[in-house]
Amino acid sequence: MNTSHYLSPRVFKINVGFLLSAPLGTSQDSTFDFPEVHVSDDLSLYYLRGPIRISRTKEGILVQATLHAGLQSECYRCLDPVTMDSVFEIEELYTPVGSPSSEFHINDDAALDLAPLVRAEVLMNTDERVLCRPDCKGLCPECGVNRNHVACTCAENQIDPRLAALRKLLDSK
Ligand SMILES: [Zn+2]
Ligand SMILES: [Zn+2]
């Protein structure tokens, strides 16, 4: 996959300096509408879209969002690539560095990095048991072909073990 045109994870860094000096309760709404974007070394999305609100609270900055992420997974039955849409809600508090009450922190340069949060949410909300289609035929346990694409004759050639024993008996005579 050529990923050179993907946006870098830097797009997830949001400056909140103006909010930190604003009165409590001040919020700012915006919209994520990224095309292909790298969230981290191990996660790239085909798109990430949705409304996002950041608000000044007593403890720090509250991030709320409802996001749609397009990602590539693989069918657990036949291993073909599957494009899926993952929807998830974010409600997470970013606190100043040194505050122990939160997992996510506001950097010294008054920026939030949403990439680790988005990554965690995408991975947590992605059902690993995804199928390429409801009636996926899977891989043949005998020859390994993808039975959605290729018809093999393994099932027909399979001999009942009891018959096999009988045949052996007959052959030995
Ligand atoms: Zn499949
Ligand atoms: Zn087969």
pLDDT of residue 169: 75
For range 121-128, the mean pLDDT: 83
Q: Which residues of 159-173 are buried (b: 16+ CB within 10 A; e: fewer)?
A: eeeeeeeeeeeeeee
Q: How confident is the model at residue 156 (pLDDT cuts 50, 70, 90)?
A: confident
What is the Å distance from ligand 2's center to 82 Cα? 23
Instruction: Provide the whole-model pTM.
Output: 0.75
The per-residue pLDDT for range 79-119, each reduced to its tens digit, is: 999 988 889 999 999 998 877 777 899 988 899 999 999 99
CA pair distance 81, 51, nearest whole angstrom? 28
pLDDT of residue 165: 74
Sorted by where each begins, the domain ranges of the chain are: 9-134, 137-173
Q: How confident is the model at residue 78 (pLDDT cuts 50, 70, 90)?
A: very high
What is the Å distance from ligand 1's center to 69 Cα? 21
Asked if 142 contacts 154 with a C-beta cutoff of 8 angstroms, the reply is yes
| Ligand found nearest the CA of 134 | 1
Going by C-alpha positions, the residue among 29, 72, 13 that lies closest to residue 47 is 72
What is the Å distance from ligand 2's center to 143 Cα? 4
Res 69 pLDDT > 60: yes
| Ligand found nearest the CA of 76 | 1
For range 127-143, the mean pLDDT: 90
What is the Å distance from ligand 1's center to 131 Cα? 5
